[in-house]
Amino acid sequence: MKVLHVAETLKGGLETYLRIVSRYQKTSPEISQVKFVLPGQVDWLGAENTHVVPTARKASALLAYAREVRRIIAAERPAVLHLHSSIAGGVVRAMALVGQVPRGVKIVYCSHGWAFDQTGPAYKNLAYRWIERLLSWRSDAIICISDHETRVAEKFGIQHVRCIPNGIDQIDGSEPASAELALAEPRKVLFVGRLDKQKGIDALLDAYVRVKPNFKLIVVGDSVRKDLTLAQSDQVEFKGWLEKDALDAVYRACDATIVPSRWEGFGLVAVEAMARGKPVFASAVGGLVDIVAHGTSGRLFSLEQMDQTLRDIDGLSDAALRQMGQAGRRIFEEKFTSQRMNTAIVNLYKESVLR
Q: Assess whether 192 and 128 both reside in one domain.
A: no
Q: Assess whether 18 and 130 both reside in one domain.
A: yes
Taking residue 49's Cβ as centre, other Cβ atoms within 10 Å add up to 16
Q: Which residue has the higher pLDDT, 125 or 239?
A: 239
How many CA atoms are closer than 13 Å to the CA of 314, on its beta-carbon side? 14
Q: Assess whether 250 and 144 both reside in one domain.
A: no
Q: Is 197 helix (H, G, I), strand (E, B) or coil?
A: coil
Say if 209 falls within a structural domain: yes
Say if 173 falls within a structural domain: no
pLDDT value for 181: 45
Q: Assess whether 154 and 213 both reside in one domain.
A: no
Say if 140 falls within a structural domain: yes
Percent of the chain with pLDDT strictly greater than 70: 95
Q: Is 38 helix (H, G, I), strand (E, B) or coil?
A: strand
Between helix 201-211 and helix 306-315 the angle, nearest 10°, is 60
State yes or no: pLDDT of 177 exceeds 70.
no
Q: Assess whether 107 and 94 both reside in one domain.
A: yes
Q: Assess whether 241 and 153 both reside in one domain.
A: no
Q: Assess whether 210 and 293 both reside in one domain.
A: yes
Q: Assess whether 55 and 159 both reside in one domain.
A: yes
Say if 158 falls within a structural domain: yes
Query: Minimal CA–CA distance to 3: which of 142, 41, 111, 28?
Result: 28
Say if 174 falls within a structural domain: no
pLDDT band at 340 (very low <50, low <70, confident <90, very high): very high
Q: Assess whether 213 and 122 both reside in one domain.
A: no
Query: Minimal CA–CA distance to 256: which of 301, 314, 308, 295?
Result: 314
Domain that holds residue 193: 179-335
pLDDT band at 165 (very low <50, low <70, confident <90, very high): very high
- Residues 31-56 pLDDT 10s: 999 999 999 999 899 999 999 998 87
Q: Assess whether 163 and 193 both reside in one domain.
A: no
110-118: average pLDDT: 86
CATH for 304: 3.40.50.2000
Query: Minimal CA–CA distance to 113: which of 257, 17, 4?
Result: 17
C-alpha span between 181 and 204 (Å, rounded): 28
102-131: average pLDDT: 88
Percent of the chain with pLDDT strictly greater than 90: 73
Give the total number of structural domains in the chain: 2
Q: Assess whether 162 and 184 both reside in one domain.
A: no
Say if 314 falls within a structural domain: yes
C-alpha span between 207 and 312 (Å, rounded): 13
pLDDT band at 173 (very low <50, low <70, confident <90, very high): low
Q: Assess whether 126 and 185 both reside in one domain.
A: no
